[in-house]
Structure 1
Amino acid sequence: MEPAARPIGADRPDHHRYRVAGVVKIAPYGTWTSPIAAADAAAAGGGLHWVDLHAGRAWWAEGRPAEGGRVALVREGRDLLPPPWNVRNRVHEYGGRPWVVLDTADGPRVAFTNWDDQRVYLFDPDAARPDPVPITDAPARHHGVRYADLTAGPAGTEVWCVRETVTGDKRTDIRRDLVAIPVDGSAPRVLAASHHFMTGPRLSPDGTRFAWIGWDHPNMPWDGTELCVADVGSSEHRVVAGGPQEAVCQVEWDGPDLLALTDPDGWWNLFRITPDGTKTNLAPCEEELGGPMWRLGNRWFAPLGGGRHLVLRSGALAVLDERTGTVTDVDNDLPVWGAHLATHDGIVVSSAAGPREEAAVVRLDLSTGELTRLTEPPAALPPADYLPVPAERVFTGPDGQDVPAYVYPPTNPDYAGPDDERPPYVVHVHGGPTGRSAPVLDVDIAYLTSRGIGVVAVNYGGSTGYGRAFRERLRGQWGVVDVNDCAAVAQALADEGTADPTRLGIRGGSAGGWTSAASMTSVKTYRCGMVAFPILDLRGWTGDGGETHDFESRYVEGLVGPWPQAADLYAERSPSHRVDRLAGPVLLLQGLEDEICPPEQADRFVAALDGTGIHHAYLTFEGEQHGFRKAESIIAALEAELSFYGQVFGFTPPDVPVLPLRR
């Protein structure tokens, strides 16, 4: 446990009194009135994805919660496709890059994947009225063939991408190929089928070779991948980087050489690979310049020319210089940039965010430092003094390991808590578990903090951004290291007087839902837990358990142990087998079309809870997959969570419906 620290804001007794004029009310934490409504969180919850540059203009995909969660395609502020077109796909169930601009003989054309049928369509972005035409056949079964990671083939005549084909009735009955789809609608041809998973087909500048990344079960793409190169038209390939303990996460051509982000030394660094196989780390550093391939098509680096490359140093924008072997931060006021860097003539576009600024599509001129925001923040976003600025902290875990976290204190200029009361705090557990929390505005968190509920986002062992050794702390220890790291942070906040030790909660979705449920059934730190679209039974999450998708169907073998040899350990750690050990009430939230964490597990968990006397609630959402995209779902889930905390922690939050609890 780290040495006791002074409570956040202790050097400012009036740390809630930001208002210059007006009366600051003294009221119990959790009862504060806030201008941040759940609808504001819904408006901010769509996300900006797959930013790119073409012909000097920025393009991106944008989630629209108010339009049923569809993803729109935007060019410099102009929507290119009206509803119901939905530029999204379900390869690996998380999806991948869903669009690309092709320079064809007839001018620019956009190829994109449409959610409803998963086919690839082509249209003229300059036409007065878009008229997309399918260039792949309709699959025989619903979503039976899907495509992702779209990139341009030679001379704009083909789309190169990943094709995923359903081969049977099990969730794991999937085959993948890298294919070339002719824009004239003729039959696709297979480029490569080297591995069970593949991504990133890249054609060399001279058109003679192409490269891609592949891997096989039981590895996940952050465990071990192979960088492959082949002659165009050949069925033979050679592996030039990667392996069982080395994970290549991005590759691009630079003349005859390859540039690859890979981690043979335990950190994702940028390497140059020459045709004779010579590999050179361009700037050796104990820094993560890459990231986990949860979705296909991310870009953590982009060549600038002259031996300089734009990179992300754990999310911060930086320039790598081959001549000096250095990585230098780019001065700007947005600390976290998205992994879709695109550059041209010293201009970079991407998404970027800060502690009090929602992610925006931005253009940065590297020569002048001028930064232009191409998207506007939601009109309903409240003044900045209602938005919490996270304090970056490092706590000490039970094994002596550093545990990074971001502490979001209760923040509302209109209110202060009573002098004799400490605020409730909720541990926020990111998903993945190979993910990471970042110090950016999250309106869901601001919804809670502006009402007097503190939040701490924990980067527990297994999180990315801290090197392979930190990431692999979770190998064989899922449900142990993540649970203990989160509990250590919560307890430290209570011990130092920042949080009320009797009003600690935990919240998380997906793998974060697992850690939330595992915490509630294995430690006594928390009064309650919010568990969203979770893993609850490890047995069902194996390849033959039949309750998850192919991409992650053997993930737990690395996180817990080999199946079926470790079957007893799977049962021992699964919250579904420990319902009788629940430390307090739980709220479960579940999308009914979730193929990653299907509702079967939550259904069984709640059935076991009914009649036990433990307060709980279970909300399900029609038409939602893994994570909620519709405005009405986001609003209902957030208001239910606030009401849940109020009932457990002993306060009445204003202006939200009371969530019925059952026992």
Structure 2
Amino acid sequence: MKTPVTAPFGQWKSPISSTLLGADGVLFESVATSNGKVYVVEGRPKEEGRGCIVDYSGPEAHDILPTNYDAGTKVHEYGGASMIAFNGYIVFTDRKAQDLHRLDPSTGQVEQITKTDAALRYACTSATGSLADEQPGWLLAIEEDHSKPSPSEVRNRLVAVNLQTKEIVNVASGDDFYSAAQFSPDGSRVCWTQWSHPDMPWTGARLYVAKWNNGEVADVHLLAGAPEKESVSQPRWGVDNTLYYTSDVSGYWQLYRCHIDTLRSERVALDGLEDVDFSQPDSRLGNCTYVGLTQTSMIASYTKNARWSFILIDLSNDSWQEMNIPVTDTIMLADTPLSETKIALLGSSETSLNTLFTLDIAETAKLDALKVTSEFRMPVSLISKPEHFSFPRVHGEHLEGKAHAIFYPPQNPDYQAPSGTLPPLIVCLHGGPTSQTGTGLNITDQYWTSRGYAVVWVNYGGSSGYGRAYRDILNGQWGVLDTADTASCVSYLASSGRIDPNGVGIRGGSAGGYIVLQALCDYPSLFAGGNSLYGIGNVRALCEDTHKFESHYAFALLFEPGASEDDKARIFRERSPCFKADKITAPLLLLQGDMDRVVPLNQAEEMVEVMKKAGREAKLVIFRGEGHGFRQAKSRIDAVEEEEKWWKKALLGMGE
């Protein structure tokens, strides 16, 4: 056995390179099935982030989308659901035109379906009838009209598209947003969710069902959901036309069924699973965590303590059994089964990167891997295993209850640190803020741990996966409670002797980048460096300049109900790092795309300007052609290398 080399934490050599992180492999964006075939949209950094549709049904994968197309929708800015598969065909949105197209996987032939104004965006969610030439068929799609650029003037509606005539008819309009529209298996009904500001889909989405007759909708009924009180997600038809969905009316996203003839709903009573979430925030379209197999069987996944598990449900009596499937994170199921015993899904685990699987339960549960996002085979001995833990709140005014985090210790079998030393810590913060970090293998985390850094992901108050009360605790406290939870996590790890308290860096993207800036301002003594990726420095400017989907999101997070205009002005200023940058003592790196519509470039530019005026150290790196997150290989590589130089300087004192 090779004797480990003794070297300081943070200076270990690793086989995980910046090129491996940024350019190698693909990013899975969605999965769909039809006629026993499995299709995936792969985001490819080496192709400028192009979304390619790939057929993984045979012994070898085949690209079936011609190279002049890029599968991806910009609806709600975050997209998702850029394709569906139905009756042997695929309908997808092309990223450039944002129109719907039909793809014949057998020939690669593409036909444009919608040929509308360039200001219109589409995301197809369901189909009925035939998609073949000269045959009657319909699509359900979200239409987003950007003909007037102001977020308040963007219009969304649910439409149906006649594939023969290309006629577009209105199904539902008047609310601010629509999602998850589905035809019933017999084509007689449609369902969908909708909501309006100030709600987000995870605070108050409503579920509707209606009769469908060849382009006409009748007998529209509200089934579940209430503004600011109940979030309904993932409506999905069973094979017998029973309608299933998830609702958090109980405090957790639980499964419900609706008997469509009587419009009577009831919870799928899974004893012992009342305190788990069967869904997750619909920040992107196409969320799918459960799928019906037969009239009496369903595969569902749920999350608890940042770990997803799979169960098989007998719908005849609501009994269930754990499947013990080694897929625990980044869960996305194809919403149509491959057979009565088989599904396709995307997911990762503590020891495997995001993977395309098929799962067959015909006899014993059989999980087959079809494609892994990276060709890099990470040695098991190199993997840092996650530890989910809860910690007390010791910073801030809200000290009740506990917050949660996932810790990764340094791990590299070729190295050991000098005796008596402790590792530097990189604190990571997810975006959202109504999101969650799970325990799946993330090659970026392993990039740092294999170099001798410890990593912790904070699921601060407001994160999903711990029930609605934990999500709602951030209301009125954005930038305060989440920041204090982050500081409490650092103090907990330091007091338990697991990290070097003088070598703590903090990084995060979007809302996570906002916490980075807030934490550097409010708890400067805890942090030796920061990296804000497209983070928010001025919350008032964000509210005035962000896209429609999130244009009211911040208000409930910032203000208590009934707040006066004076209170709002005060809070805007108190919660904006750009007005207190003089409190920052740590060097700050900012990474930002110039095409970002979610958090515009001017946020980072203003933060750098005020930092430098205050005599503080800040560096802004702008990535041309990038939006909210980096898709291109060069951008992804450069971002990692810039960050590593920053940590060496800020946390290790090694200079650039």
Same fold, judged at TM 0.5 (above): yes
Match of 2:82 among 98, 105, 128: 98
Shift of 1:633: 0.7
Residue range with higher mean Cα deviation, 50-59 or 336-345: 336-345
CA displacement at 1:224 relative to structure 2: 0.5
Structure 1 position 409, deviation (Å) = 0.7
2:353, 2:372 within 8 Å by CA — same for their partners in 1?
A: no
Corresponding position: 1:529 with 2:530: yes
Indicate the larger mover: 517-526 or 227-236. Answer: 227-236
Q: Where does residue 78 of structure 1 map in the other structure?
A: 62
Q: Check 1:58–1:206 CA distance in 2 against 1; reply closer, same or farther (3 A cut).
A: closer
The match for 1:294 is 283
> Which residue number in structure 2 is paired with residue 112 of structure 1?
92
Residue 610 of structure 1 aligns to a residue in which SS? helix
Q: Deviations over 1:521-552 (max 9, x none)?
A: 1113211111001122111222xx1x100000
Instruction: Quote the residue 1:389 is aligned against.
Output: 385
* Equivalent residue letter for 1:488: S
Contact 2:83/2:90 (8 A) holds in 1: yes
Residue of structure 2 in register with 1:241 after alignment: 224
Q: 1:185 to 1:420 in 2, by over 3 A?
A: farther
Q: Which has the higher contact order (CA 8 A, sep 6+)?
A: 1
Residue 371 in structure 1 maps to residue 367 in structure 2? yes
Question: What is the count of residue pairs matched by the alignment?
Answer: 622
- The residue type equivalent to 1:217 in the other structure is H
CA shift for structure 1 position 236: 5.7
1:191 aligns with 2:177: no
CA contact (8 A) 1:165 1:174 kept: yes
For 2:68 and 2:347, locate their aligned partners in 1 and report how far apart those are by CA, in whole Å. Answer: 28
8 A Cα contact 2:505 2:651, kept in partner = no
- Distance in 2, matches of 1:306 and 1:257, equals 9
User: Within 5 A, what are the aligned runs for 1:509-658?
Assistant: 509-524=509-524, 525-542=526-543, 545=544, 547-561=545-559, 564=565, 566-652=568-654, 658=656
Shift, 1:394, TM fit: 1.6
Q: Distance in 2 between matches of 1:45 and 1:197?
A: 34
Alpha-carbon displacement from aligned partner over 1:249-275 (angstroms, at most 9, x marks no partner)? 111223343211111111111111223
Distance 1:306 1:154, change over 3 A: closer
Q: Please identify, of 86-95 and 294-303, the stretch whose mean Cα deviation from structure 2 is larger.
A: 294-303
Q: 2 CA distance for matches of 1:24 and 1:618?
A: 38
C-alpha distance in 2 between matches for 1:136 and 1:563: 46
Residues 30-68 of structure 1 deviation map (CA, whole Å, 9 limit, x = unaligned)? 111111101111246742122122111211111111111
Find the residue that maps to 1:291 and give its secondary structure: coil
From the superposition, tell whether residues 240 and 334 of structure 1 become closer, same or farther in structure 2 (CA, over 3 Å): closer
Mapped to 2, the partners of 1:28 and 1:212 lie a distance apart of 56
The alignment partner of 1:539 has SS state of helix
Per the alignment, residue 148 of structure 1 pairs with 123
2-side partners of 1:551 and 1:319: how far apart? 35
Tell me how far apart the structure 1 counterparts of residues 492 and 498 of structure 2 sit (CA, whole Å): 9
* 1:235 Cα offset (Å): 6.0
CA contact (8 A) 2:23 2:636 kept: no
CA shift, 1:78, in A, is: 1.1
Q: CA deviation at 1:207?
A: 2.8
CA-CA distance at 1:334 after TM superposition: 2.4
Aligned letter for 1:82? P
Worse overlay, 352-361 or 391-400? 391-400
Q: Which whole-Å CA distance do the structure 2 matches of 1:203 and 1:117 have between them? A: 26
User: Structure 1 residue 456: deviation in Å?
Assistant: 0.4
Q: Structure 2 matches for 1:23-42, cutoff 5 A?
A: 23-42=3-22
> What's the secondary structure of 2:185's corresponding residue?
coil
Range with greater deviation from structure 2 (361-370 or 619-628): 361-370
Cα pair 1:135 1:182 within 8 Å, conserved: no
Q: What is the match of residue 468 of structure 2? A: 468
Q: CA deviation at 1:326?
A: 4.0
CA offsets 1:572-616 (integer angstroms, 9 cap, x no match): 111111111113111100011111011011111111122433222
Q: Separation in 2 of the partners of 1:411 and 1:563?
A: 51
Q: In angstroms, what is the RMSD of aligned CA positions?
A: 1.8
Alpha-carbon distance change, 345 to 235 in structure 1, aligned in 2, over 3 angstroms: closer
In structure 1, stretches of 5+ residues that fail to align are 1-20, 659-663
Q: 1:411-468: CA deviations, max 9, x gaps?
A: 1111111113111001110111111111111111111111111100111111111100
Query: How far off is 1:181 after superposition?
Result: 1.8
Equivalent runs, 1:314-393 vs 2, <5 Å: 314=303, 315-336=308-329, 338-342=331-335, 343=337, 344-367=339-362, 368-376=364-372, 378-393=374-389
Q: Retained in 2: the 8 A contact 1:113–1:119?
A: yes
Measured after TM superposition, the shift of residue 380 of structure 1 is 3.2
Counterpart of 2:473 in 1: which secondary structure?
helix
Matched residue SS, 2:571: helix
Superposed displacement of residue 84, structure 1:
3.4
Of residues 270, 278, 282, the one that matches 2:268 is 282
Partner of 1:252 in structure 2?
236
User: For residue 106 of structure 2, what is the aligned residue in structure 1?
Assistant: 126
Structure 2 partner of 1:304: 293
Measured at CA, do residues 576 and 611 of structure 1 come closer, stay the same or move farther in structure 2, by a change above 3 Å?
closer
Q: Which amino acid aligns with 1:240?
A: L
Task: Verify the 8 A CA contact 1:149 1:297 in the aligned structure 2.
Answer: no
Look up the equivalent residue of 2:540 and give its one-letter code.
Answer: R
- Pair 235,601 (structure 1): closer, same or farther in 2 beyond 3 Å: farther
CA contact (8 A) 2:194 2:205 kept: yes
Instruction: For residues 605-658 of structure 1, give each alpha carbon's deviation from its aligned partner in whole angstroms, at most 9, with x where no partner exists.
Output: 1111224332221101011111111111111111111110111123449xxxx4
The answer as to whether partners of 1:587 and 1:616 remain within 8 angstroms in 2 is: yes
Identify if the C-alpha distance between structure 1 residues 591 and 41 changes in structure 2 by more than 3 Å, giving closer, same or farther: same
The one-letter code matched in structure 2 to 1:528 is G
- TM-score w.r.t. the length of structure 2 is 0.91
Task: Specify whether residues 121 and 392 from structure 1 end up closer, same or farther in structure 2 by C-alpha distance, changes over 3 A only.
Answer: same
Tell me whether 338-347 or 110-119 shows the greater mean CA deviation: 338-347
Equivalent position of 2:134 in the other structure: none
Give the AA of the match of 1:506: I
Q: What's the secondary structure of 1:180's corresponding residue?
A: strand
For the structure 1 residues 475 and 45, does the alpha-carbon distance in structure 2 shift closer, same or farther, using more than 3 Å as the test?
A: farther
State the AA in 2 paired with 1:258.
Answer: L
| Other structure's SS at 1:378 match | coil
| Equivalence for 1:54 | 34
Q: 1:185 to 1:571 in 2, by over 3 A?
A: farther
Q: Distance in 2 between matches of 1:306 and 1:201?
A: 21
Determine if contact 1:122/1:183 at 8 Å carries over to the other structure. no
1:491 alignment partner in structure 2: 491
Q: What secondary structure sits across from 1:620 in the alignment?
A: strand
Counterparts of 1:323 and 1:237 in 2: how far apart (Å)? Answer: 28
Alignment partner, residue 66 of structure 1 = 46
Q: Distance in 2 between matches of 1:559 and 1:419?
A: 45
Tell me, in whole angstroms, the C-alpha distance in 2 between the residues paired with 1:165 and 1:148: 12
Q: Which residue of 1 aligns with 2:455?
A: 455
Contact 1:283/1:322, CA 8 A, preserved across alignment: no
* Amino acid across the alignment from 2:298: H
CA contact (8 A) 2:89 2:103 kept: yes
How far 1:511 sits from its partner (Å)? 0.8
Deviation at 1:376, TM superposition (A): 3.7
* Partner Cα distance (1:220, 1:589) in 2: 27
Q: What SS class does the counterpart of residue 532 from structure 2 fall into?
A: strand
Supply the distance in 2 between the matched residues of 1:149 and 1:329 (Cα, whole angstroms): 33
CA contact (8 A) 2:120 2:143 kept: yes
Counterpart AA for 1:242: G
Show structure 1 runs of 4+ deviating over 4 A: 562-565
